[in-house]
């Protein structure tokens, strides 16, 4: 069974890699330093008894993803996160496939408590939950989408997590499949009401440009549905990353996947100037989690600790100094 679970995890991680290459796409923390929480995010203030304070008093926090460090819903992901040097971890909701909902081990109270205890021990935070099963599955067409999102929201409440990642993926690509827009908007309206009732935010990733995403959010009409921005999407599409950020503005961006495609580490990436990104985000007044997803060295793509440690250290040198 362990071998099968490992095989399934690797298979879904590989599918995630394929989808991301094909896919063209604020949970702002109330810091002790007195940074203001945008009005639209006030509903996401932590209420769970399990919420624990930030590891560091920083405007920007750095996290990694359990799926991408090959530790999907594994307790050992937390120690590896600590070894990498990150401040927190994005937890995946588990596999989806043809199931009615995610294969979520965190729904088990005993397993969940182990994660909570270990995170406290290591002074780490859970920055978000990710519904990556929707990369390959159709959010617009799955009949049990409310149960899936509902299960995610319940896990968020139990863990004290304020943001969930919902990628619309290949089958929900609104550039390639504009005919799905009405269904997606209506479903996200439902999801928005669910999130508002729970005091959390659902961050979506789409194939649209920033102007298109602004219009989409307006049509959805919920402060609990925002954009989970990914730097690689405008870069791959040849759009101006900084202009895209400015168009969306701080109140529409709940969290950021702050890396590019795999190839080189962030410090060697000539099309992604992190110092300029910081200047842009500073001027916007944005603050929150920067989540390391990719930017792995093509020469050593399977060297998890080396790749993620290098990118985490570089991001901290840019965003957490001075």
* Beta pairing partners, 225: 202
Burial class (CB in 10 A: 0-12, 13-18, 19+), 118: middle
Q: State mean pLDDT over 82-87.
A: 98
pLDDT at residue 322 in the model: 60
Note the pLDDT tens digit of each residue in 121-147.
Answer: 999 999 999 999 999 899 999 999 999
pLDDT at residue 28 in the model: 31
Closest CA to 226 of 18, 20, 56, 39: 39
The 3-state DSSP class for residue 238 equals coil
Note the pTM of the prediction, 2 decimals.
Answer: 0.83
Element (H, E) at 182: helix 181-198
Domain boundaries in the chain?
A: 2-319
Among 3.30.70.141, 3.20.20.150, 1.10.10.10, 3.40.190.170, name the CATH number for the domain at 2-319.
3.20.20.150
Note the pLDDT tens digit of each residue in 22-65.
Answer: 433 333 333 333 333 333 334 443 333 333 334 458 999 999 99
Confidence band for 72, pLDDT divided at 50, 70 and 90: very high
**Helix (DSSP H) and strand (DSSP E) numbers for the chain:** 10, 8
Q: State mean pLDDT over 221-233.
A: 98
């Amino acid at each position: 069974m362990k071998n099968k679970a490992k095989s399934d995890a690797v298979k879904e991680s590989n599918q995630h890699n394929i989808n991301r290459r094909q896919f063209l796409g604020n949970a702002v923390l109330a810091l002790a330093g007195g940074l203001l929480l945008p009005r639209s995010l006030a509903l996401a203030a932590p209420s769970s008894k399990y919420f624990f304070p930030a590891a560091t008093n920083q405007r920007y926090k750095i996290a990694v993803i359990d799926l991408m460090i090959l530790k999907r819903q594994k307790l050992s992901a937390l120690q590896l996160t600590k070894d990498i040097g990150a401040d927190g971890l994005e937890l995946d909701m588990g596999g989806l496939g043809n199931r009615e909902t995610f294969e979520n081990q965190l729904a088990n109270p005993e397993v969940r408590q182990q994660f909570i205890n270990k995170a406290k021990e290591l002074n780490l935070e859970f920055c978000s939950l990710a519904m990556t099963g929707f990369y390959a599955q159709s959010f617009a067409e799955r009949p049990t989408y409310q149960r899936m999102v509902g299960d995610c929201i319940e896990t968020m409440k139990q863990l004290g997590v304020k943001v969930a990642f919902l990628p619309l993926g290949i089958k929900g690509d609104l550039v390639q499949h504009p005919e799905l827009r009405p269904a997606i908007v209506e479903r996200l309206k439902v999801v928005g009401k669910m999130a508002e009732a729970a005091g959390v935010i659902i961050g979506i990733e789409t194939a649209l440009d920033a102007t298109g995403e602004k219009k989409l959010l307006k049509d959805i009409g919920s402060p609990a549905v925002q954009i989970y921005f990914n730097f690689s999407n405008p870069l791959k599409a040849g759009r101006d990353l900084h202009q895209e950020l400015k168009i969306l503005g701080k109140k529409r961006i709940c969290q950021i996947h702050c890396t590019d495609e795999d190839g080189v580490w962030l410090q060697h990436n000539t099309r992604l100037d992190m110092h300029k990104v910081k200047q842009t985000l500073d001027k916007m007044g944005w603050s929150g989690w920067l989540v390391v997803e990719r930017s792995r060295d093509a020469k050593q793509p399977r060297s998890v600790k080396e790749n993620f440690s290098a990118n985490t250290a570089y991001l901290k040198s840019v965003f957490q100094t001075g």
